[in-house]
Structures are given as C-alpha cells and as structure tokens.
C-alpha cells in the first residue's frame, strides 16, 4: 500500500467512524482531523469515492491561505468569552486590536472548534467557568446567559432543581372501545427526569382527579 492509499484509507476511516459513533466531533478528535476537513472529505467521497480522496491527497497545501495560530487562538477566546458576538462583530473587534480576520475566517475557526452556534459557545463558556471557581462574570457574559435562559423558557423549557420538584399533567380523550365506551388518558411528566406515567379511565371525571398526579410524583421520588 503506497502513501496515497494510506492517506485515503484514513479519510474513509474517519467517515466510517463518525457514522459508527454518531458524532462528527468525537470522530475528528480520535482521528486528528478538523470538522472542516471531515465535511470536505465527505463531499468528495460522495461524489467520487476513494479516488477523489486520493486526488486531494496529492494537492499541495496553500500555506499563504492559512490563518496565523495567534489569530485563530484570539477568535476562539473571543467566542468563549463573548458567546453572543456574531462573526462580523468578532472580526471587527479583532481588527481594532490589529488582528485582521474576515467574518468568513471567523466562521471557519468556529466550525473547526465546534463553536458555530450561540448555544455551543455558551456551553464552552459554562465549561470554563466550572473549571475556574470564584470568577466574576462580565456584563456581556451575564446578558448572554440571561438571553439563553429566556430562549429556553420561550420554547417551553423549565429548569427544575430535582426529580419531583415540578410535574406537568394533562387529560385527553383517547378513543372509543366497543362495549366500554369512551376512554380518557391522564399523563404525568416529571419535568426534571423526563419520566412520564399514563393511566386510562372510562370516565372523564376520574381522569381529572389530582390524586393521580400526586401518586405519580411520589413514584418519581422513589426512582433509583
């Protein structure tokens, strides 16, 4: 097996590993490739198979187009420290410091480091805060975290302290069974553990009882 074949086999291995793990990021970490490279390999493989990957292996890298390591580091740092900034804002702020990078370049760095969405940048900030105790948040970081919380609430997400803290209950018509009549269902969902219970009734009055919700809450608390 020559060098080109070995390189193309590694790239095919990256694509297969990502499929097996169900995670592009994890596969790239294991194989030592960036996410940019993964999607480029994937597109080439889908169009021309292993032959297309061999062809790209023969190409010489355009060194002059590579971003300086110190600028890439600055982009990553700003993404984590100011997660609400968009790529245009980041490029503008870095240009003010004399570190010239285009908005497209910022986006490329984000993709390589799995920071391309506000949620992922915020998660990176939270991970850093967890590693440094006693750190005081900046005003911009506080606003970013408050914005994320408001978006969660707007989409119906609720933060609860522990299982059994808050439950969601609903009663609905299921259908009609011959010789039994109408059937109603009552559900209880624990908003912390996402554990749900369902009970069927033949009368709507019984389904509307609050006792089922209370019994369900105690069942959640008894879960291991």
Euclidean distance between CA atoms 29 and 38, whole angstroms: 11
Mean pLDDT, all residues of the chain: 78
Euclidean distance between CA atoms 38 and 49, whole angstroms: 14
pLDDT tens digits, 137-187: 777 778 777 776 666 655 555 666 677 777 888 888 888 888 888 888 888
Per-residue pLDDT, 88: 92
DSSP string covering 2-22: -HHHHHHHHHHHHHHHHHHHT
Per-residue pLDDT, 139: 79
Give whichever of 59-73, 84-98, 153-167, 201-215 has the largest mean pLDDT.
84-98
Nearest in space to 77 (alpha carbons), one of 34, 128, 119: 128
Tell me the mean pLDDT in the region 44-68.
Answer: 65
Residue 165, phi then psi, degrees to nearest 5: -70, -40
pLDDT band per the 50, 70, 90 thresholds, residue 3: low
Euclidean distance between CA atoms 117 and 136, whole angstroms: 24
CA distance readout (Å), 165 to 122, 183, 205:
26, 29, 26
DSSP string covering 31-47: HT--HHHHHHHHHHHHH
Q: Are 45 and 52 in contact (CB under 8 A)?
A: yes
- C-alpha angle 112-113-118 in degrees, rounded to nearest 5: 110
Q: Which residue reads 């009970």 in tokens?
A: 199
Per-residue pLDDT, 74: 92
Which token pair is 24? Answer: 């592009």
| % of the chain surpassing 70 pLDDT | 76
pLDDT band per the 50, 70, 90 thresholds, residue 201: confident
pLDDT band per the 50, 70, 90 thresholds, residue 21: confident
């Amino acid at each position: 097996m020559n060098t080109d074949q070995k390189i193309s086999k590694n790239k095919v291995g990256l694509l297969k590993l990502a499929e097996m793990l169900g995670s592009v990021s994890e596969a790239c970490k294991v194989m030592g490739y960036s996410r940019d490279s993964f999607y480029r390999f994937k597109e080439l493989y889908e169009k021309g198979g292993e032959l297309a990957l061999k062809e790209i292996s023969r190409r010489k890298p355009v060194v002059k187009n590579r971003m300086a390591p110190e600028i890439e580091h600055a982009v990553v740092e700003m993404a984590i420290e100011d997660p609400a900034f968009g790529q245009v804002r980041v490029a503008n702020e870095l240009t003010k410091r004399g570190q010239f990078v285009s908005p497209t370049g910022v986006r490329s760095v984000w993709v390589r480091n799995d920071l391309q969405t506000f949620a992922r940048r915020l998660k990176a900030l939270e991970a850093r805060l967890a590693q440094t105790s006693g750190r005081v948040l900046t005003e911009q970081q506080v606003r970013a975290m408050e914005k994320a919380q408001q978006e969660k609430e707007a989409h119906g997400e609720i933060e609860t302290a522990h299982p059994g803290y808050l439950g969601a209950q609903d009663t609905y018509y299921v259908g009609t069974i011959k010789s039994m009549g109408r059937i109603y269902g009552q559900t209880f969902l624990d908003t912390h553990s996402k554990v749900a219970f369902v009970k069927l009734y033949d009368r709507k009055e019984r389904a509307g009882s609050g006792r089922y919700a209370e019994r369900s809450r105690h069942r959640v608390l008894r879960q291991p």
